[in-house]
Amino acid sequence: MISSIINTVLYPRPNPPHYSAKSHPNYLIWIPPNGSIPSIPCFYFQASPERPLIIWSHGNGCDIGTMVPLLSLLNRTLSVNILIYEYPGYGLCVGQTPSEDKINRHTQQAYTFARSVLRFPPDRIVFYGHSIGSGTACMMVASLIQSRIPVGGLILQSPYQSLTDLVKQKAGVFRLFISELGWNNINVIQVITCPVLFIHGKQDDLISYDNSIKLYNACPSHKKQIVLIDNADHNTIDTRTVLQAVQQFLYMYLH
């Protein structure tokens, strides 16, 4: 029962999905299966191969189809390559149940695909974690840095310090039965030394912007920025603000 409640809180998947196998033929690609991991649907927005690649980990209330308008605009405006991959149980990843471990494995597969098939060098790859996606993005970047693999950068939009604390805030009386969950950004961020950008709305009542401030202060990187938006909440950060912040970040650290 408790695991079902946690699953409902963490992974409110769009139903029906916001895309189909035929809705975006110019963008849809599939990462081949690997062991226990089935094929993963992705959207790949191409720019010049010399430009950076952003690997995008989306929020929990959307799927990769939801993100097409924003990502196609980023692709055109900033001339960046973007690979957004799907989570288990979302969109066309049917017959699967989402979990932290499974999402982490999808993140790893997306990165492996970017390196081995798309042929992007590691120092030109930027990870973008939005909301719940900040957990898997932070974990992936920390793992690479600890393995002495260079990372181009990390962008965190509306991130949280600890998934455990976030779930307990939403679980009411059931919070006493919730054990420690895996995504703990405030611990992981302490090993991340690549360029990092934090973006957060100051009116966010789902994940307070204090989370970004504390993550920023705990991050040891000498190349870090934080953008706090006065009149934005969790879901209303203006597209132009995201564009400007990402553009300045990429120009400064990946120009």
What one-character-per-residue DSSP string does 156-180 give?
A: EES--S-HHHHHHHHSGGGGGG---
Between CA 151 and CA 123 the distance in angstroms is 5
Assign 232 to helix, strand or coil: coil
Assign 34 to helix, strand or coil: strand
What confidence category does residue 180 fall into, taking pLDDT thresholds of 50, 70 and 90? low
Whole-model pTM?
A: 0.94
Between CA 164 and CA 181 the distance in angstroms is 5
Write down the CATH number for the domain with range 1-254. Answer: 3.40.50.1820
Between CA 96 and CA 90 the distance in angstroms is 8
What confidence category does residue 6 fall into, taking pLDDT thresholds of 50, 70 and 90? low
Q: Which residue has the higher pLDDT, 93 or 4?
A: 93
Note the pLDDT of residue 40: 97
Share of the chain above pLDDT 90, in %: 81
How does pLDDT run across 56-87, given as a tens digit for each residue?
A: 999 998 999 999 999 999 999 999 999 999 99
Assign 9 to helix, strand or coil: helix
* Residue 171: pLDDT over 70: no
Instruction: Provide the strand spans (E) within 61-185.
Output: 81-85, 125-130, 153-157
Note the pLDDT of residue 173: 44
Interstrand relation of 81-85 and 40-45 (parallel, antiparallel or unpaired): antiparallel
For tokens 């991991």, the residue is 37
